[in-house]
Amino acid sequence: MKKRPAKAHRPHTTRVYRGGETSERQRELPEEMPVALSFNGTTQAVMMATPADLEDFGRGFALTEGIATPDEIEDLQVLVGAAGIDVQMWLGTEAEARLAARRRHMAGPVGCGLCGLDSIEAVLRDVAQVTAALSLTPAQVTAAMAALPGHQSLHDVTRAAHGAGFFIPGRGMVLAREDVGRHNALDKLAGALLAGGVDTGMGAVVLTCRVSIDMVQKCAALGAPVMIAVSAPTAHAVRLAEALGLTLIGLARGDGFEVFTHPDRIRPERNADVA
């Protein structure tokens, strides 16, 4: 293996049938390839992912899956081979012990944060309570959702990628990442926030997807107090968000949204700025 760049999207010629007419056009398709996440020389997970922002992906996955904090990652390398990419991370002693305990609960290869775990206890892992005192106005929630499309360049050319962004009142959308997988996009965002030293208690995670239990776990592990999504959450995701102190907002489209948990973080519009 060697380190070299990989393209996030590629052109493909399609035949278009529309309005009784036939034509050909070039369409950009998002690239998807196996990305292994390896710790201390052993592969922990293999994801089908977009080959971009993979250092962010590695750091974010390690944090949101409870494997390692950024300061426990001693080295990180992205190695590209003919069949896929290996994101290799080397951990300190405490994180290595934590990883060994996690591996004892693995039933097989994984494709997301929960697949392959062999017990209910392993799936419903402990995540720290979200305690940040952030509050948003309805206009700021709407502005956060409206700002994300402007940071989705891969989706613009392919129409086939999820986006995850981080919105801070008064600053707008400060970071965003994309991937064909919704979990991957959130992990990449987490890694970018960590690398940038962003205070995650000061803003909201904004997503283009539905909200499941594992997305709530990842957001809470990041320490973000608010999650805003274009689609609805599952019932279990709502229960977990309520228990963790996370404000979960779904169906955020146009000028409306629904607050499923901890609505106290949504304050009246009076004397409030919109960013």
Q: Which residues have a catalytic role annotated? A: 112
Helix (H, G, I), strand (E, B) or coil at 271: coil
φ, ψ at 147 (rounded to 5°): -80, -25
Give the count of alpha carbons within 13 A of 26, CB side only.
4
Distance CA 111, CA 158 (A): 23
- Bridge-based pairing of strands 172-179 and 162-168 is antiparallel
Distance CA 212, CA 228 (A): 13
Burial class for 42, CB neighbours closer than 10 Å (0-12, 13-18, 19+): exposed
Distance CA 29, CA 118 (A): 35
